């Protein structure tokens, strides 16, 4: 064989025909084995699979999808700024695999609109869309998307007609945080909110209602923030500029709490000795050995399973009525909270 021909063959991807030639069987038989369809004997399957591995054969997923009547692909639109979004994306892979679906990811970024990201997923033949976090689309626009494919919102509910949603009862979560702090003896408890981000309004409501329920209505104080480390740092700088500090802070989320704690500690304030801090999400950030943050837990794995199940119920079961699921959070107590001095 000429050297140029040998080089060209080694450079191209192995095909089913190459696997068939290696084993000495037909391409159709190889197709049955690799497609996990009945017919070939156990010995033949073993020989074909071994040859495919030796040759480095990789299935052409795109071509296979084009041949299917259904793609069985779920599109996921997600942000990249918050740990909870990453936890949900990670949890969606096993959740979709359990029901025989694949995942196509499309990230929200400042360089393209959400509409473009959704259009990309639709163009890749995604049968349903899972939206994680804040949707910039107007509910009416999202409703039009839901007329074409099932849409499940995770972590928020925009009220778009025809969509499903799975989210945590955020007011309940912050109520648990405030109850914990009051139980430790705290009265001067401040909340750093999440701005206009998903769940923020509910968290503010849970904080204010619980404070008032304990006769602390005159102590209610909400500092503007968001779900970022910098928001926590800004809130800490505002508190440090005062004559006296609160004894406890409920942060918008774990990243916000991290920025808050880091800024306080750099200023010589002890956490939890001087100020107790509670986060939200119970993300990997909260579990860091040097932080050990008390945090409200959202169950990303459970949310992912329910979201995928909601989409599958529409696709495979024919459900047409919207379903909105509200999950109960729980509080994980660690080292960032203690009784006030």
H or E segment to which residue 236 belongs? helix 229-240
Same-domain check for residues 238 and 322? yes
Residue 336, domain extent: 70-341
Same-domain check for residues 329 and 221? yes
Q: How far, CA to CA in Å, does 101 sit from each of 34, 76, 96, 281?
A: 18, 12, 5, 27
- CA-CA distance, 160 to 145, in Å (whole number)? 10
Is 7 a domain residue? yes
| Regions of the chain with pLDDT less than 70 | 1-12, 36, 59-70, 134-137
Give the model confidence (pLDDT) of 129-163 as tens digits: 999 976 656 788 889 899 999 999 999 898 899 99
Same-domain check for residues 42 and 96? no
Same-domain check for residues 15 and 117? no
- The CATH number linked to 9 is 1.10.260.40
How many domains does the chain contain in total? 2
pTM score of the predicted model: 0.78
Same-domain check for residues 287 and 324? yes
Long-range contact pairs involving 81-85 (C-beta distance under 8 Å, separation at least 24): 81/227, 81/228, 82/133, 82/227, 82/253, 82/255, 83/254, 83/255, 83/281, 83/283, 83/284, 83/285, 84/133, 84/155, 84/253, 84/281, 84/283, 84/298, 84/300, 85/132, 85/133
Same-domain check for residues 256 and 337? yes
Same-domain check for residues 223 and 121? yes
Tokens of 213: 């329920």
Domain end, chosen from 39, 59, 79, is at: 59
- Looking at residue 112, what DSSP letter applies? B
CA terminus-to-terminus distance, the chain:
84
Same-domain check for residues 181 and 269? yes
- The CATH number linked to 241 is 3.40.50.2300
Is 279 a domain residue? yes
Is 275 a domain residue? yes
Same-domain check for residues 41 and 74? no
Chain centroid to Cα 180, Å, comes to: 27
Is 281 a domain residue? yes
Same-domain check for residues 27 and 133? no
pLDDT (0 to 100) of residue 137: 61
Same-domain check for residues 10 and 125? no
Is 218 a domain residue? yes
Same-domain check for residues 110 and 201? yes
pLDDT (0 to 100) of residue 1: 43
Is 64 a domain residue? no
pLDDT (0 to 100) of residue 4: 45
Is 65 a domain residue? no
Give the model confidence (pLDDT) of 205-238 as tens digits: 999 999 999 999 999 999 999 999 999 999 999 9
Domain end, chosen from 59, 85, 107, is at: 59
């Amino acid at each position: 064989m000429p050297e140029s021909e040998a080089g060209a063959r080694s450079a191209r991807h192995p095909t089913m025909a190459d696997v068939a030639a290696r084993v000495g069987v037909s391409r159709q038989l190889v197709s049955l084995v690799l497609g996990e369809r009945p017919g070939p004997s156990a010995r033949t399957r073993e020989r074909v699979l071994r040859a495919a591995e030796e040759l480095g054969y990789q299935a052409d997923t795109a071509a296979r999808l084009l041949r299917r009547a259904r793609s069985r692909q779920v599109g996921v639109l997600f942000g990249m700024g918050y740990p909870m979004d990453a936890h949900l994306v990670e949890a969606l892979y096993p959740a979709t695999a359990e029901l025989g679906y694949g995942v196509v990811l499309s990230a929200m970024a400042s360089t393209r609109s959400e509409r473009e990201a959704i259009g990309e997923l639709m163009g890749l033949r995604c049968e349903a869309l899972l939206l994680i976090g804040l949707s910039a689309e107007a509910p009416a626009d999202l409703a039009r998307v839901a007329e074409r494919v099932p849409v499940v919102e995770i972590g928020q509910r925009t009220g778009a007609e025809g969509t499903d949603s799975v989210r945590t009862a955020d007011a309940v979560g912050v109520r648990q945080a405030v109850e914990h702090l009051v139980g430790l003896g705290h009265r001067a408890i401040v909340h750093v909110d999440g701005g206009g981000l998903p769940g923020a309004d509910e968290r503010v409501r849970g904080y204010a209602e619980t404070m008032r329920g304990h006769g602390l209505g005159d102590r209610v104080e909400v500092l503007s923030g968001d779900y970022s480390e910098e928001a926590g740092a800004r809130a800490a700088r505002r508190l440090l500029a005062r004559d006296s500090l609160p004894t406890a802070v409920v942060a918008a989320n774990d990243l916000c709490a991290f920025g808050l704690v880091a800024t306080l500690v750099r200023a010589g304030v002890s956490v939890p000795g001087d100020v107790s801090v509670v986060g939200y999400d119970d993300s990997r950030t909260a579990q860091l050995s040097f932080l050990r943050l008390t945090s409200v837990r959202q169950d990303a794995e459970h949310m992912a399973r329910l979201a995928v199940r909601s989409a599958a119920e529409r696709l495979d079961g024919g459900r047409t009525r919207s379903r909105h699921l509200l999950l109960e959070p729980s509080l994980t107590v660690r080292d960032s909270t203690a009784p006030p001095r």
